[in-house]
Amino acid sequence: MNDKINLNYLENYAHDISEKICSEYFGTKKYMSGQEIIQLTPSSQVNFMVIKTLFEKWNEEMEKMKSNPYFDYKDIAVSEALKEFMNVLSRAIKIEHTHFLPLLEVAVIDTVLLALDPMVYFWGEIEKCKGDSPHGHLKASKKYIKWHEELLNELMEKGGHGDAEVYKKSLSDSYQQLQEKLASPTVLLESLAQALPIDWEQLVPEVGEPKTSTSAEEEQSQDNADEDQAEMADSQEKVEVSLESGSLAAQEGGIDPALAWARFESEQSGVLKGSISSMDEGVAINQRFMFTKKLFDSNPDLMGHALKSIDECDSFVEAIELVNKRYVTRLDWDKDSDEVMEFLQLIYRKFDEK
């Protein structure tokens, strides 16, 4: 699906529906059990996504335990004992409200993403493997992923036991081959919408029909436009002063850091929501896929290095100069594209000062 997902709306929707479901359940009970998770929401895929997250948490704990150098975790008896322990533990799931709510929110986001854009979702699953072969992870996840099974099977068959890069290439090929056969997102998410209706015009803005403005709305829109124009004129004046001083002069063919800062500083929309401690923290799953494909020649390692390098900068201007020097011209970025604007917004959120 090529339509752009409104991540702000998706996060708010996931929070609202999770709050609603948890309030209804924990109003009479203190703990959530494994059996009750399976039957929790009208969407079985959401329920299985919660179990999938718990399974992944277990694996993370096992990896930490296996890093202990004093014991042989490859021993057959130890391996069998761990499997039995996991089986016993899975029958003793016991989660309180405060711990369950974030699990459910993630499950809802993953479910909606899987329905709307399975390529982005599976790209994220491949990324979890951190360079190792994704075969084992995807094989274990199959029991929890109930949608687009043909795409997942085709991906695993083509990827075999290759590394993450092989799987990303296989994903692209498989998606192109099966794209027209994939189930409709509205059909897949119909059961979830029973619990809380989905505003499709908000979730995927390109899908919605443009609304007809009333005269009052047009007047208000014009007033807002006049205010925005005045603010931008003020910002532009500040930028011109900065440029005359020479301290923020843009590199030839690059992005002007002063203009970029002024643009984001003047924005009053909800696009920029708070500062981030690191670039990697601020990148959402679908943005990670988009940036890698559109800005970094489909090379996730190149993007990862870029994010780390930007984190090491001391200011917004230094970060933009780094981006200009290493990426804008060399990778032929379209400086006015949505992808570049979103990437610059992340840099803006990373730094408090120019």
Band (pLDDT 50/70/90 cuts) for residue 197 is very high
DSSP 42-55: S-HHHHHHHHHHHH
CB 255 within 8 A of CB 318: no
Give me the pLDDT at residue 244, please: 42
Q: 227 pairs with which residues across the strands?
A: none
Residue 247 has pLDDT above 50, yes or no: no
Beta strand pairing status for 95-96 and 31-32? antiparallel
Mean pLDDT across the stretch 116-121?
Answer: 89
Q: Which residue has the higher pLDDT, 5 or 26?
A: 26
CB 70 within 8 A of CB 119: no
Mean pLDDT across the stretch 233-237?
Answer: 47
Band (pLDDT 50/70/90 cuts) for residue 48 is very high
**pTM over cut 0.75:** no
Give me the pLDDT at residue 271, please: 46
Residue 245 has pLDDT above 50, yes or no: no
Distance in angstroms (rounded) separating the CA atoms of residues 65 and 173: 37
Domain ranges within the chain, ordered by starting residue: 7-203, 257-352
Give me the pLDDT at residue 46, please: 95
Mean model confidence pLDDT for the chain:
81
% residues pLDDT > 90 (the chain)? 29
276: DSSP letter: -
pLDDT tens string 305-317 = 889 899 988 888 8
Task: Please count the residues of the chain.
Answer: 354
Q: Which residue has the higher pLDDT, 158 or 4?
A: 158
Q: Which residue has the higher pLDDT, 129 or 76?
A: 76
Task: Report in angstroms the alpha-carbon separations of 209 from 200, 206, 269.
Answer: 10, 8, 21
Give me the pLDDT at residue 100, please: 93
- Mean pLDDT check: name the lowest of 161-170, 242-251, 294-303: 242-251
Residue 251 has pLDDT above 60, yes or no: no
User: What is the number of other CB atoms lying within 10 angstroms of the CB of residue 281?
Assistant: 12
Mean pLDDT across the stretch 143-165?
Answer: 91
pLDDT tens string 16-37 = 999 999 999 999 999 998 889 9
pLDDT tens string 57-92 = 888 888 888 888 898 888 899 888 988 888 888 788
The alpha-helical segments, DSSP class H, found in 267-330 are 279-282, 285-295, 300-311, 316-323
Q: How many helices (H) and strands (E) does the chain have?
A: 19, 2
Mean pLDDT across the stretch 204-232?
Answer: 50
Cβ within 8 Å of residue 332, ≥6 positions away: none
Q: Which residue has the higher pLDDT, 262 or 107?
A: 107
Residue 43 has pLDDT above 90, yes or no: yes
